[in-house]
Structures are given as structure tokens and as C-alpha cells.
Amino acid sequence: MATADITVMGAGVFGLSVAYASARRGAFVRVIDPAGVAAGASGGLVGALAPHVPENWNDKKAFQFESLIMAAAFWADVERLTGSDVGYARSGRLQPLADAHAVALARARALTAAELWQGKATWEVVEAGSNGWMPPSPTGLVVHDTLSALIHPRRATQALADAVVALGGEVMTEAPAEGSVVWATGWDGLREIGGNGVKGQAALLRYDAAGQPQLFADALHIIPHGDGTVAIGSTSERAFDDPTATDTALDDVLARAIAAFPVLEGAAVIERWAGVRPRSQSRAPVLGMHPTRKGEFIANGGFKIGFGMAPKVGEVMADFVLERRDTIPDGFRAPSG
């Protein structure tokens, strides 16, 4: 067995994006995860690549914007390399506006989006119209943004693993950790450095709305995947006993989704899912030198935005680990040990 240049601990979307970016630069990469690919939060159902609102701009929002713009080319390259369909589509998003205050705020954000999104995407207030997929809106108006995208989480994560292998790397359940070691072990890894996990429950419905925009209302993401299913999520549970059990909290999510989007009434539920998403103390990703493992690295904490952040996280960490070139935003930098 050849000696690895980089070992990535964790086969979720962050770890595999770091491995993929490093392998593309010629490094021999080994990924180790005892539970297998996408065993944690990356194996969920939803796959919403949704931007932060275009206001109060900061490093986190700018980083996410750049990553969302990178996403189409990133996932297209993974698909070409592997022959897999990752379910990526920059389909946009619709959000109903509840009252005059919400309309005014949305129109103000349209102005800041015109500047901050650099003409690469739009945020606008439009009439709801009568399209069957259009969400009901008390004001008759909705926000339509063209930056939001969607992806099939499990297929995308497995495709990233396959891409690493296609580039000469390894994805294994056990093996020696060699070379530069990067820890991307989800909520378990974050708990070592003061972070935690937030449980989410989601459901998958049999309903064909392929090609339609994703919907967002009542804090719920409604994601029309291209395979004739719609994902609905999710809860945010700080306290929980069983990290993988679904319960009445998911029943409530389904009821709220149907109330907000009656078009889903009667759609069959084909899967219920629960898992724990890694949340750092700052809610931002944690990148750089590992604070407690001397000489090793960390890429973790993509709370609710992991798939949207992953393309740029991979590149930034490859810069740092392979070239010692530090392009990590200050707000993402791992705390010192």
C-alpha cells in the first residue's frame, strides 16, 4: 500500500470535498470513515443549497456566495469524472411574503442583492400568479431568487467518493492515517472542541415537481428533486435522546408543509430520516489547524449549509494543507488549542 500524502478522516461532504480538491492537484489521498460514505448528516434527504439573505454582508456570506457560484462547474466536473448524476440544479427559490413589512424588507434586499451578488444572480419580488407549484401568499407576492440550488445529498456524496477514487485516491473504512491528517468527522468531531450537534428530521414524498424552484416558508425547505420526489425539512432540535429516530416532530413538519403548500396534500411519504448536523459555536465552518490535535487539520461545522459551502471549503483547505497558503476567512478559523 502506497503512503498517502493526505489522510482525511470522515467521508461526509466536507471531508470528501477536501479530498477531491487535493486529489485534483495530484496528491495521493486516503479517506477513512468506519461508518462509510455519507453515514452522517451528508446522508440526509433535503439538499437545499440556499443563500443567506443579501444584507449585513460578512465573510461567511461572501464565502457562501462564491461557493454557490462555483457549484455548477464543481458538480459538473464530478459528474463527468464518475458518470454519476448528483441531482444538482440551480433551480432558484420562491418564498411567500406574509404582509406589507415583509414586502418592504424583500424589496430592500433586492437592491442589496443587485450589488452584492455582482449580477451573477437576482433577488426580486414578483406576483405569485396561478402556477400550480407557486406557493400561496397572503400578499399575492413572493420572493424569487436565482442563486438557490438543490442537490441529491446521498448521490452527490457518493459521487465525490467515486471521484476521489477515479483520481487515484482511496476511500476506506479502516486504514493507517498517513501524511497530513484532516479531521472532518461531523458533530462528534466538533464536540471535541466545544461545538455540538443539532438534530434534524426530514421526509421524502412521492411527488413529481422536477425542474420547479424550491420553496421556503414557515422555516421549511421544500425541495423538488429531479427523480420525482420532494424532500421536506427540517426540525432543529438541540436536545434529543436518539439521534436517528423520527417522531411526532416530523409529523408536525409534514403538517406545516402541507398547510403552507397545499399542492403536496395526499403525496405519499416514502422515507422518514433523522440525523445530527455539526454546529460550531459560531455557526460558521471551522477550518485550519486542529486546536487539539497538534500538527493536524480540521474542516468541519457546515451547519445547514454544508453542501453549499463544500466546493470552496475543499479549495481553501487544499490551499492550506498542500501549499500552506492561508485563504481561510478569519471568522472560519479554528480556535487555537
pLDDT, position 282: 87
pLDDT at 52: 92
| The predicted structure's pLDDT at residue 1 | 64
| Phi, psi (rounded to 5 degrees) for 60 | -65, -45
Domain ranges of the chain: 1-90+147-212+224-242+264-337
Sequential DSSP letters for 146-204: SS-EE--HHHHHHHHHHHHHHTT-EEESS----SEEEE--HHHHHHTTT-EEEEEEEEE
- Locate cell 497530513: which residue? 180
Q: For residue 152, what are the CA distances in angstroms to 85, 184, 204, 224?
A: 9, 20, 12, 10
> Which three cell numbers mark 311?
466546493
Residue 279 has phi, psi (to 5 degrees) of -130, 120
Q: How far apart are CA 324 and CA 148, in angstroms?
A: 32
pLDDT of residue 40: 94
Query: Exposed, middle or buried: residue 208 (CB in 10 Å: 0-12, 13-18, 19+)?
Result: middle
Q: What is the CATH number of domain 1-90+147-212+224-242+264-337?
A: 3.50.50.60
Burial class (CB in 10 A: 0-12, 13-18, 19+), 132: exposed
The list of the chain residues with pLDDT below 50 reads: none
Q: How far apart are CA 78 and CA 20, in angstroms?
A: 9
Nearest to 309 by CA among 277, 273, 272: 277
Report the candidate in 75, 42, 49, 74 with the shortest Cα–Cα distance to residue 64. 49
**Could you check whether the bond before residue 234 is cis, i.e. omega within 30 degrees of 0?**
yes
H-state helical runs in the chain: 13-24, 59-82, 100-116, 153-166, 186-191, 248-260, 306-323
